[in-house]
Structure 1
Amino acid sequence: MILCRSGSLWMLGLVCMITVATTAATSLPSSTSRRTSSFSLPLAIPRGGGWNPFGKASPPTLVQVLRDEKKQLETKVWQLQQQLQSTRTQLQDLHEASLALKAQGGSRKQVHALQQEVKHLKHRITQLETSVHQLTQLQEQIESMLQESQQKVQQLQQALTTSQADLVLQKDDYELRLAQLRLELEQQAAQQLQQLQTRLEAELQAAVQRAVEDLQHDHKRALVLQQESLTNDFNQRLAAEQAASKKLVQVERKKMRKLVRALADRERKEMAQQLRREQEQLQKQAQRQSNQKKAATSKTDTVRSPVK
């Protein structure tokens, strides 16, 4: 009877330990538990099964069931790791985009903001991996405690086998307690782990989506700023080219004015020289005509003088 009572107390202590462990898992910080992928861990504890003191065939043990559930959990964790890898790929793409923006001469502030956001998301993913690791450890602890429970049940079976009278008296009571224990473990573990799964999945998807949207928004804003900067630079260069062209046109105009004045002066000089030559020719012609008239007059006088 003492062994039976101590076994019952140990079972109640085990229930308290599992409840505390699962409660600790559900109370993970939101910054860490936000980010996990979807996984399912239905704690399938056989109803009405377990050991049988009369040597009859028993259903699958809790250990075997937990091993199957552990394999399913490993598959879900692998799926989570694949999603994490996909997120890392997106982060790498955004990181390369930020590097490309930096290489193209984008705003240093925008590039720094992109890099900080990428770093922040990496830190969140690291926290997610830590949460997955803690959840895996929690599952291992539950499995270990249930294995210890199985060992205690076996010890109780051996003790009860040595005392058939006490076994007959306590058989129904222990079976009821074991059934209640299995039912409580199943309900508590399944409910709490399902709640944890739902919350972690929703928070992870929301956090990743917000981070990606923020990075895309910052990237678009950086591209717009870069385009505005390039447009302003082009306008400044165009204004400088126009000013230089105006100066060049003014210089050419001055040269043309000088050339026109030079040509005009040259033409005036040539016209003046031409006029002088014409005047000289006219003067020479007038002089010749005058000389001819004088010569003619002289001859006339010579002819008339004998007549007198």
Structure 2
Amino acid sequence: IALGSVVRDMLFPDSILIGESDTKAGDVLQTIYLQMCEKKPPVQRMNFVSAELTKISVNTYVTTKISYANMLADICDRLPGADVDVVTKALGADTRIGSKYLKGAMGYGGPCFPRDNVAFAALARKIGARADVAEATDRINNHQIERLSGLVAKFAKAGTRIALLGLSYKPQTPVVEESHSVKLAAKLADAGYIVSVHDPLAQDAAIGVLGDKVVGASSLEGAVLECDLLIVATGWPEYKAIDPAWCKRNGQRLTVLDLWRTLPADKFADVADVLYLGSGR
């Protein structure tokens, strides 16, 4: 079950995981869950220890895919002609890999992924095992803020007005816990940039975290009109509706860093330079 799609995930789960203390208790839970589900998903039943390990292992595996895609995006940024979306599409076509969560962009956040990845590594250390992959995944994820702030510095000096669009850790939720967008906004503000922020649902929550480091935009249009550098940091569908006219700058071109490849570059060709993360250019 994921934030933003709880009802759908409850009705159409890939599988049901039950940790049970005895068979009778597991039977009751299985009956309840199968009555709620629209289809009959496979049911995995096991003791509490295996169930808890399975739960955090799922999230740890998913975060590994996310960090792998972000590593590829970093490589593609430095490799002329490479395109991370082309590469990950080909990878995802391999049934051994799959396409879900394989998009190079921002690092992962939210209340579950960071927590479970750290918990998995901590458990391994506690029992004398190694979790090198989980630890590397976490390091790659933590590096993303430095990587992105360094990218901004290539295009803008301290004092530049930056509009950062998207503050929730993913679209369709107001949650900003461990959001990389919020962390990036704080990093840029601390570096001397003038940062305004916008989000359809999470703006108030983010400002509650960031305080007076940033200014909340009164509207999407206002955020775009008043900036010298635009960053699309969360792939909200609302941002696809940005009017190119908002990007006009008295003969100069607005630089747009589109971290999720949300905006059609050809639509903005006359007024802005839209730079896609992981595009090799």
TM-score, reference length from structure 1: 0.18
Please tell me whether Structure 1 or Structure 2 has the larger radius of gyration of its CA atoms: 1
TM-score, reference length from structure 2: 0.20
